[in-house]
Amino acid sequence: MLLSPEAAMQFLEALPRFVFFTGKGGVGKTSIACATAIDLAARGRRVLLVSTDPASNVGQVFGVEIGNRITPIPAVPNLSALEIDPQAAAQAYRDRIVGPVRGLLPDSVVKGIEEQLSGACTTEIAAFDEFTGLLVDSSLTHDYQHIVFDTAPTGHTIRLLQLPGAWSGFLEAGKGDASCLGPLAGLEKQRSQYKAAVDALADGARTRLVLVTRAQKATLREVARTHDELAAIGIDRQFLVINGLLPAGEAEGDPLAAAIFAREQAALAAMPAGLAGLPTDRIALKPFNLVGLDALRQLFVAANVGRADDEAPVTPPAAPDIAGLVDGIAADGHGLVMLMGKGGVGKTTLAAAVAVELARRGLPVHLTTSDPAAHLAETLEGSLDQLTVSRIDPAAETERYRQHVLDTQGAKLDAQGRALLEEDLRSPCTEEIAVFQAFSRIIREAGRKFVVMDTAPTGHTLLLLDATGAYHREIVRQMGSGGTHFTTPMMQLQDPKRTKVLIVTLAETTPVLEAANLQADLRRAGIEPWAWVINNSVAAAGPRSALLRRRARNELAEIENVAARHASRYALVPLLRDEPVGVERLCQMVRRTQANQGA
């Protein structure tokens, strides 16, 4: 089905061969990428849809098992898909580097190389390594007129690949510090190919980059930062898609819908200046889940929802509320509480609500964030006895770490070695190491008070845990089995009496799937999540709008899925009429107050 002329998207006009969709989690990148691929295929174009998302659900969207191979989509002529597996790519990348020296170098040296290549920086570069060929090797993609990428390489990845310097000689001389030199060690022979790929990304005649966002202040700020980062490295010809806008007609007769509409319009009116000048498309919120071909074919066209009277009210599901979770947390008197989940699910607000309620009960609390996009001060809008608030500032922590390395290891180097060390310390992986050190300092406080941590989006959180795990293994090797008592950050994260991990999600197919994948990753690291929080539930809010009632009905299966399959304990938080900003509203959010709901 082709788009009707009145619904045509600007970003689809005169589309070049490559198109990338990027944006924070939960904004609808996968749905829009899939709908774009379907539309192009319907126009008779031969299309390859590629996902580089570690939590890819493209196969689920089409109901076909795809994986790391080009797979035709039977129900869509002209369309094939490929899911790049970042973990498999990282293992192949490690094998390619370590294989030639295994058996030639001492086991301790080989183990050290493997340790350097164990982090998420390696995974990120390896994934880029996988799809580089799709950009520059025509023999791989000559059958396709368009290559549609679900998730573009981040500014972080591209900055890694742009780092110049004599990496090999620096490594051989033993002058490197533990940042990105390990992952970059295997790049020398392919540097020209990577440069060609980055050049292709920056060429508007070959590539279109589409930023996807929602009409939310925090999400718009995040995508504005992505816009600025990519523009700074030459990728400045961008399009913007604002997804999931509530139609104005739904606000009539429903206080909840009216409040949501007003919030969205206010966010759009205050859009960051860098975004305001981009070619922009707006996509209305749909009453159905965007899974399956029929749904995806309707994404770019207006949905006929009907009248509110035609949709029967949805009885809010009987489910535990967040007050019960806070009771369980408070019973221990102190400890680390970490809120994790993909972007856009409301971790910052929930972290603030938990911290405020614990402090209101007279318990000492340190509320902190490692998320560069979080705005705790705006959420709190006030202070409270027993509550301290901080933010791990990546720039400040990076400068502190950089200066420490230069003052210690750099002091022993000649001018050339110091120059290369300074170059290495400009890599974005240095920031991750510095943030990890700050993270380690803060969680020690959890032995005497509550530390509530609003973490960065899932990919960054797992990178942080990779660093934590590597640090733990290094300490264990150094201390040996001589009976010395020690505690590493990873040991604290793995102890359920000292750390409670709350996984935050929405009652929608993709967020629940990604939360389940996060839980599996945590379990592989020996960390058992303590509870799930299903946030912003329309079903729990008693909407009157026809569109919201249909969305509420769709949520019920996902809520049951979490309760029956994934969570040992969980809480359901309704979508609120008024934003939970300020200490009093945050307290009300936990105290089972119904005043802010649309019911």
Neighbours of 484 (CB within 10 A): 8
Q: Which one from 22, 23, 24, 53 is the annotated catalytic residue?
A: 53
**Catalytic residue list contains 26:** yes
**Catalytic residue list contains 28:** yes
Q: Which one from 24, 29, 342, 500 is the annotated catalytic residue?
A: 29
Q: Which one from 22, 31, 213, 505 is the annotated catalytic residue?
A: 31
**Catalytic residue list contains 510:** yes
**Catalytic residue list contains 277:** no
- CA 98 – CA 78 distance, rounded (Å): 40
Q: Which one from 22, 23, 25, 28 is the annotated catalytic residue?
A: 28
Q: Which one from 26, 182, 244, 542 is the annotated catalytic residue?
A: 26
Query: Cα-atom radius of gyration of the chain, to the nearest Å?
Result: 25
145: its two tokens: 């007129």
286: its two tokens: 């749909």
Q: Which one from 22, 30, 141, 349 is the annotated catalytic residue?
A: 30
Q: Which one from 349, 458, 510, 545 is the annotated catalytic residue?
A: 510
- CA 66 – CA 68 distance, rounded (Å): 7
SS3 of 36-70: the string is: HHHHHHHCCCCEEEEECCCCCCHHHHHCCCCCCCC
Task: Give the relative orientation of helices 415-424 and 394-408 as an angle to the nearest 10 degrees.
Answer: 160
Neighbours of 532 (CB within 10 A): 26
The length of the chain in residues reads 599
**Catalytic residue list contains 129:** no
Please name the residues in contact with 403: beta carbons below 8 A apart, sequence gap of 6 or more: none
Nearest to 305 by CA among 562, 21, 545: 545
Task: Give the relative orientation of helices 428-443 and 394-408 as an angle to the nearest 10 degrees.
Answer: 100
Task: Give the relative orientation of helices 458-479 and 509-524 as an angle to the nearest 10 degrees.
Answer: 0
Rounding to the nearest 10 degrees, give the CA dihedral for residues 176, 181, 182, 185: -110
Please name the residues in contact with 12: beta carbons below 8 A apart, sequence gap of 6 or more: 3, 36, 39, 40
**Catalytic residue list contains 186:** no
- CA 258 – CA 547 distance, rounded (Å): 13
464: its two tokens: 């942080």
**44: phi > 0 → left, psi -120 to 50 → alpha, else beta; which?**
left
- CA 499 – CA 512 distance, rounded (Å): 22
- CA 505 – CA 350 distance, rounded (Å): 11
Nearest to 552 by CA among 238, 315, 329, 341: 315
CB 430 within 8 A of CB 121: no
248: its two tokens: 């104005």
CB 26 within 8 A of CB 343: yes
Question: Catalytic amino acids?
Answer: 26, 28-31, 53, 510
